[in-house]
Amino acid sequence: MNHAVLVIDAQQELMDGNKQENAVHNKEMVLHHINLVIEKGIKEESEIIFVRDLDVAEGIGGGFEVHSDIHVPQEAIIFDKRATNAFYGTPLLNHLKESEIDHIIIMGCKTEHCIDTAVRMATVNGFDVTLVGDGHSTTNSEVLTAQQIVDHHNKILHGHYNVDHFSMVRNAEEDLFRPIHNTYR
């Protein structure tokens, strides 16, 4: 099985917040877990891919870059996107197919937007997904706390399927590179 670690929108300004937005919930924990999974991915010789949102910090400067506390491997691949969907208008899907990836481990921000969309799009495009349940975050909405949003998505995306492929939610400390999807098929 070929794995890819996909870190979405874990950008400085999005995670730390700015004058209009608060920092994401449990930021330090999420940063720690992203680094932990990247480290595991390197040991497993998995591809490490970052996707950055061009809307963050207007697509320029330090606020746009991957968060400074994340250890970005030199060989990491970085794609930029203009939409909530990391697959839309980017070479991500073609790259994953060409690399013969069949399992994607997803982390990043924001839970209810780009993370949810990536998990669902990956399954319909032929990938099994492991969402790192303690490796994604968001901010409070007008009706739900950030923790409620994260908990809700961890619940609904665990076992979410699109006929042949589906997503599982596991935590960073688990052996994410030994997927458990086949025990549920």
Per-residue pLDDT at 162: 76
Q: What is the mean pLDDT of residues 76-90?
A: 97
pLDDT tens-digit profile of 39-74? 999 999 999 999 999 999 999 999 999 999 999 999
Q: What are the tokens at 132?
A: 């790192």
pLDDT tens-digit profile of 143-161? 999 999 999 999 999 998 8
Per-residue pLDDT at 23: 98
Distances (CA, A) of 161 to 27, 117, 127, 175: 29, 13, 10, 21
Is residue 75 scored above 90 in pLDDT?
yes
Distances (CA, A) of 33 to 4, 52, 84, 93: 16, 18, 23, 25
pLDDT tens-digit profile of 110-119? 999 999 999 9
Q: 95 pLDDT band (50/70/90 cuts)?
A: very high
Per-residue pLDDT at 50: 98
Q: What is the CATH number of the domain that holds 146?
A: 3.40.50.850
pTM value surpassing 0.75: yes
Per-residue pLDDT at 183: 84
Neighbour-count burial of 79, counting CB atoms closer than 10 A to its CB (0-12 exposed, 13-18 middle, 19+ buried)? middle
Q: How many folded domains does the chain comprise?
A: 1
Is residue 10 scored above 90 in pLDDT?
yes
Is residue 11 scored above 80 in pLDDT?
yes
Is residue 121 scored above 80 in pLDDT?
yes
Per-residue pLDDT at 184: 77
| Structural domain span for residue 18 | 3-183
DSSP-derived 3-state class of residue 154: helix
